[in-house]
Amino acid sequence: MSADSASIKTETVTYDAKGTQCKGYLALAGGTGPRPGVLVVHEWWGLDDYIRGRARMLAELGYNALAVDMYGGGQTASDPQGAGALMNGVLGDVAAAEARLAAARATLAAQAGTDASRIAAIGYCFGGAMVLHAARIGMDLRAVASFHGALGSFHKPAPGSVKAKILVCHGGADALIPEADIANFKQEMDAAGADYEFVSYDGALHGFSNPNATANGEKYGLPLRYDADVDKRSWAAMKALFERAL
């Protein structure tokens, strides 16, 4: 399944999440017949050009994609202090986060040409934590993929409650993800009977999928680095997951 780049349509869409006006970015594959949908949840920087690019890449694969605005109003940050404040505002109000995820899913499902029964989600860093949380609470998603995402849990799923197939793409040298979180995540998924795959890429640092990561790491003194090979391999793993699940 793929789409001609000329048929892809993109637009900014505004949707309500329990009183918060969110500004998402749609990339629709076009063509005939209903297509699966994929939510794309941003890093702590917010819904920026990198995330919009990922949505377009998914549309090129033949999926209808919605880049989700988790901060409301399309807010983005230009430095770690601002990004941390925006991210922690969401992490400190899990109910609001869940409402924004649910509103984004409903918005994507309502698009003409989207098969509402076949929706998945991917996320990067903070976004990875968000899509894993969506899976943990049993949101109606066929699959979720986390790229260098945080693994700490806000909700312990009951056995059999995780509906989505889960892929975690983790940097083996990621200094921002504690080893204890990895062990706890695997124990939690095993206890829930979840269908999950945890892939660790040797030597990869946090942010391995983002071409801007190396420059941001150097600028702000953070252990970030882009890895073109791991970016390619993890994207291929996501494609394989979607071929099975969607």
What sign does the dihedral 217-222-227-230 (CA atoms) show? negative
User: What pLDDT score does 184 carry?
Assistant: 97
- Flag whether pLDDT at 43 surpasses 90: yes
Between CA 66 and CA 109 the distance in angstroms is 10
Report pTM. 0.96
The answer to whether 72 and 20 are in contact (CB under 8 A) is yes
User: What pLDDT score does 32 carry?
Assistant: 76
What residues have CB less than 8 Å from 6, skipping those under 6 apart?
none
User: What pLDDT score does 30 carry?
Assistant: 81
Q: At what angle do helices 80-91 and 94-109 cross, to 10 degrees?
A: 90
Token readout for 84 is: 């941390």
Between CA 198 and CA 125 the distance in angstroms is 15
Between CA 4 and CA 6 the distance in angstroms is 5
As a whole number, mean pLDDT of residues 93-102 equals 97
* pLDDT tens column, 98-113: 999 999 999 999 998 9
The answer to whether 72 and 17 are in contact (CB under 8 A) is yes
Q: Which domain holds residue 149?
A: 5-245
Total structural domains within the chain:
1
- Flag whether pLDDT at 6 surpasses 80: no
The enclosing domain of 241 has a CATH number of 3.40.50.1820
Between CA 143 and CA 199 the distance in angstroms is 15
H or E element that contains 17:
strand 9-17
What sign does the dihedral 109-77-229-134 (CA atoms) show? negative
Between CA 156 and CA 138 the distance in angstroms is 11
Cα 48-39-172 angle, rounded to 5 deg: 75
Q: What is the mean pLDDT of the chain?
A: 96
Pairing state of beta strands 9-17 and 64-68? unpaired
Identify each DSSP E strand in 74-215 by its residue range: 114-124, 143-147, 165-171, 196-201
Q: What is the DSSP letter of 6?
A: G
As a whole number, mean pLDDT of residues 66-86 equals 97
- The percentage of the chain sitting over the pLDDT mark of 90, rounded to a whole number, equals 95
